């Protein structure tokens, strides 16, 4: 059964259980002054619609859905991700990427970085999550900076593995398994 994305968000928020992991990233609070920037992407992951696309049906089964929201204002950026229908009891990585989703996994480009060349949770948005027994999961990240309206992220990509937080492979999280294209909303 397909659940509308807004209902998915409301149901997930109302579910009993532990709160979503909050990943607080400290960094310089800089960026343009002015109004809030809001981005959103949501839908059922299909094999062809690049607004919500699945690249690996073993890790993102048919019927899986996702919803991503980014709000950036007052020196902070808050990003939330809610998913349903993924594999149960499994850890996934997730990050913002620079370009919209494409038919091929690499078309969304590299990770979005607030400070170019800095691979860290302080400069990037890392949203790792673990699904529950029914394949639902959620995550929230807060960063101490605002998005630059001239270089907004284009997608939220779900990866096959947890994000490596240290070592030579810091910031990597395995293959890209699904993608939500982000669009500016008012």
Phi, then psi, of 79 in degrees rounded to 5? -125, 130
- Number of domains the chain contains: 1
- 66: CB partners within 8 A, 6+ apart: 41, 42, 43, 45, 52, 81, 82, 83, 84, 156, 158, 178, 180
> Which structural domain range is residue 138 located in?
5-185
**Cα gap 112→54, rounded to integer Å:** 20
The predicted structure's pLDDT at residue 35: 81
**What pTM was computed for the model?**
0.83
Residue 157 — left, alpha, or beta (φ > 0 → left; ψ -120 to 50 → alpha)?
Answer: beta
Q: For residue 17, is pLDDT > 80?
A: no
The predicted structure's pLDDT at residue 34: 56
- The continuous run of DSSP H or E covering 11 comes out as helix 5-14
- Assign residue 14 the CATH number of its domain: 2.60.40.200
Are 134 and 79 in contact, with CB atoms under 8 Å apart? Answer: no
**Cα gap 134→163, rounded to integer Å:** 22
Which tokens in the block code for residue 76?
Answer: 């902070």
pLDDT in tens, 24-62: 444 443 444 458 999 999 999 999 999 999 999 999 999
Strand residue runs (E) in 46-172: 52-54, 65-73, 76-84, 91-97, 129-130, 137-143, 155-159
pLDDT in tens, 71-82: 999 999 999 999
């Amino acid at each position: 059964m397909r659940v509308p994305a807004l209902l998915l968000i409301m149901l997930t928020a109302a579910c009993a259980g532990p709160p979503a992991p909050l990943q607080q990233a400290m960094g310089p609070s800089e960026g343009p002054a002015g109004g809030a920037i809001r981005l959103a992407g949501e839908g059922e992951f299909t094999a062809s619609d690049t607004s919500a696309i699945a690249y690996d049906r073993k890790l993102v089964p048919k019927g899986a859905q996702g919803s991503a929201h980014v709000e950036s204002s007052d020196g902070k950026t808050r990003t939330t991700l809610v998913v349903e229908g993924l594999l149960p009891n499994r850890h996934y990585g997730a990050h913002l990427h620079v370009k919209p989703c494409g038919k091929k996994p690499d078309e969304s480009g590299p990770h979005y970085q607030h400070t170019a060349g800095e691979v860290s949770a302080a400069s990037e948005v890392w949203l790792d999550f673990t699904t529950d027994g029914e394949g639902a999961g959620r995550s929230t990240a807060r960063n101490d900076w605002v998005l630059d309206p001239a270089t907004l992220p284009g997608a939220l990509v779900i990866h096959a593995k947890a994000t490596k937080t240290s070592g030579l492979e810091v910031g990597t999280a395995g293959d890209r398994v699904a993608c939500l294209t982000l669009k500016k909303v008012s």
